[in-house]
Amino acid sequence: MSPDGSTQMAAASLSQTSAPVIAARDLNLVFQTADGPVQALKDVSLSVAKGDFVSFIGPSGCGKTTLLRCVAALETPTSGTLTVNGLTPDEARRARAYGYVFQAAGLYPWRTIAGNIRLPLEIMGFPRAEQDARVDRVLKLVDLAGFGRKYPWQLSGGMQQRASIARALAFDADILLMDEPFGALDEIVRDRLNEEVLNLWARTGKTTLFVTHSIPEAVYLSTKIVVMSPRPGRITDVIDSPLPRERPLDIRESPEFLAIAHRVREGLRAGHVEL
């Protein structure tokens, strides 16, 4: 496929203006394990509009990562329908619809930062000159300009995770999937990166799905918060955030913020009571 195939694809999905970027209906996923079947997702229905920032929050085992992996075609739902940009997840993956940021930065230690960001571009067959241009652009985007020649071990954990976000952005997918990307980082670094992610989202307008288990993180970042609960993994509440798109860090002390955080906490608790 030619490198501009994905942009055509993105344009095509844009033209169907009202169509959701991600649409899940009655999604079920049952894992067959040695201890018998485990229902990872039960009757999950969700629709994500273009430009949304959606956080998935819930205790471990609630299926939030599984749902993200279904969107990325890393898992296949047992039943139900799931479309990404109007395509099946597998087609969407081949059309480079999304960039995926994993829990660990997962940078290759034998490649420089620039080399790591170049990796998906090499695989996707971008011409060399364009690879260079794209690497430069995304390095600036995540504030790592000048670090391209460093090796991962020369960077802090936060910088590594930023490089991995840059890698997910390099091929211009219009969806960004992030699976607890800052889970392993300390609070201070995490705050800064949250601010940067928000900035990045404002500048690029990418539809973002963000898995987390931190309530403040979810409320601070999202336009839509999906609260999930485990056994079986299901959605217990979907909160549309009334917070403005422009969010300084101290918005986290405002009454609106605390009200949403409260509702999320209630949702999480409700999920547990039902057990």
Partner 1 sequence: MRRAVLPVLWVVMALLALWYVAAIPMNIREVVTEAERGGAEVWGGTAAERQDRSAWALALRNPSVALNGWAQERPRLPAPHQVAQELYASTIGEEVFGRRGFFQTGELSNRSLVYHAGVTLGATVVGFLIGAAAGVLLAIGIVHNRAMDMSVMPWAVISQTIPIVALAPMIIVVMNSVGVQGLLPKAVISAYLSFFPVVVGMVKGLRAPDRMQLDQMHTWSATQAETLWKLRLPASVPYLFASLKIAIAAALVGTIVGELPVQRGGLGARMLAGSYYGQTTQIWAALLMAAVLAAFLVWLMGWLERRTLRAMGVPA
Residues 165-224 that bind partner 1 (CB under 8 A): none
What are the angstrom distances between the C-alpha of 27 and each of 30, 71, 118? 10, 11, 35
Out of 50, 64, 93, 162, the only residue in the binding site for partner 1 (CB under 8 A) is 93
Please tell me whether residue 100 binds partner 1 under the rule CB under 8 A. Answer: yes
- In the sheet with 98-101, reading across from the earlier edge strand, the strands are 98-101, 175-179, 207-212, 53-57, 224-229, 234-240
Find the shortest distance in angstroms from Cβ 123 to partner 1. Answer: 5
Separation in Å, CA 269 to CA 46, 63, 84, 213:
21, 16, 31, 14
Shortest Cβ distance from residue 109 to partner 1 (Å)?
7
Within the chain, where are the H helices? 5-15, 64-71, 89-94, 113-124, 128-141, 157-169, 187-204, 215-221, 255-273
- Is 151 one of the binding residues for partner 1 (CB under 8 A)? yes
Closest separation between CB of residue 151 and partner 1, Å? 4
Task: Pick the stretch among 46-54, 119-127, 204-212, 251-259 that binds partner 1 (CB under 8 A).
Answer: 119-127
Q: How far apart are the first and last CA of the chain?
A: 48
Tell me if residue 66 falls in helix, strand or coil. Answer: helix
For residue 168, give both structure tokens: 């997910």
Q: Does 94 bind partner 1 (CB under 8 A)?
A: yes
Q: Is the peptide bond before 20 cis (omega within 30 degrees of 0)?
A: no
Task: Work out which of 6, 52, 82, 98 binds partner 1, going by CB under 8 A.
Answer: 98
Q: Which stretch binds partner 1 (CB under 8 A): 29-37, 107-115, 189-197, 240-248?
A: 107-115
Which residues neighbour 32 within 8 Å (Cβ) at sequence distance 6 or greater? none
Residues in 32-71 at the binding interface with partner 1, rule: CB under 8 A: 69
Please say which residue, 72 or 235, places its beta carbon nearer to partner 1.
72
Strand pairing report for 53-57 and 224-229: parallel
Contact 98, 48 (CB under 8 A): no
What distance in Å separates the CA atoms of residue 245 and residue 241, rounded to the nearest whole number?
A: 10
Nearest distance in Å: CB 178, partner 1 = 12
As measured in angstroms, the least distance from the Cβ of 184 to partner 1 is 13
CA-to-CA separations, 52 to 60, 104, 167, in angstroms, rounded: 24, 24, 21
Choose, by CB under 8 A, the member of 50, 64, 96, 234 that binds partner 1: 96
- Work out how close the CB of 204 gets to partner 1 at its nearest, in angstroms, rounded to a whole number: 18
CB of 121 to partner 1, least distance (A): 9
Q: Which residues pair with 261 in a beta bridge?
A: none
Contact between 266 and partner 1 by CB under 8 A: the answer reads no
Contacts with partner 1 by CB under 8 A: the residue count is 26
Q: Tell me the window of 40-48, 121-129, 203-211, 234-242 that interacts with partner 1 (CB under 8 A).
A: 121-129
Residues near partner 1, by CB under 8 A: 69, 72-74, 93-94, 96, 98-100, 102-104, 106, 108-112, 119-120, 122-124, 151, 153
